[in-house]
Amino acid sequence: GNSVTQMEGPVTLSEEAFLTINCTYTATGYPSLFWYVQYPGEGLQLLLKATKADDKGSNKGFEATYRKETTSFHLEKGSVQVSDSAVYFCALASGGGADGLTFGKGTHLIIQP
């Protein structure tokens, strides 16, 4: 079956530090990959996505590249802000139909001023 593995944290960084959150996956076929962000008390927001190998998704300074050879989709940002503090979920969609998303366990990111 499908699975997503990501570092759980919490990850604590200082403002303007470089961020990497690792994500690896196992899936049948050719999945699409996503990063979602969840702020306290809110739903999930799509941060970025990639639908095929070597695609790079980017949004709000965050980037992730779909690496089929290493089955990875690591999230990076060059300079984090306090407002980036949230829980980040790596997820995949596979199977071709409306089967729902498979999520990683989530990484709690804390940015200190």
Partner 1 sequence: DTEVTQTPKHLVMGMTNKKSLKCEQHMGHRAMYWYKQKAKKPPELMFVYSYEKLSINESVPSRFSPECPNSSLLNLHLHALQPEDSALYLCASSPPGRTNTEAFFGQGTRLTVV
Question: What does DSSP say about strands 44-50 and 102-103: parallel, antiparallel, or unpaired?
Answer: unpaired
| Sign of the dihedral through C-alpha 8, 9, 10, 12 | negative
Question: What does DSSP say about strands 11-14 and 107-112: parallel, antiparallel, or unpaired?
Answer: parallel
Binding to partner 1 by CB under 8 A, coded x per residue (else -) over 29-58, reads -xxx-x-x----xxxxxx--x-x-------
Identified binder of partner 1 from the candidate list 7, 24, 58, 95, rule CB under 8 A: 95
| Shortest separation between residue 78's beta carbon and partner 1, angstroms | 24
Of residues 34 and 62, the one with the C-beta less far from partner 1: 34
Distance CA 64, CA 109 (A): 16
Q: Is 18 in the site for partner 1 (CB under 8 A)?
A: no
- Distance between the two ends of the chain, CA-based, in angstroms? 41
Q: Is 106 in the site for partner 1 (CB under 8 A)?
A: yes
Q: How many CB atoms lie within 10 A of CB 94?
A: 19
| Shortest separation between residue 26's beta carbon and partner 1, angstroms | 15
Of residues 86 and 106, the one with the C-beta less far from partner 1: 106
Distance CA 48, CA 34 (A): 6
Would you tell me which residues interact with partner 1 (CB under 8 A)? 30-32, 34, 36, 41-46, 49, 51, 89, 93-101, 103-106, 108
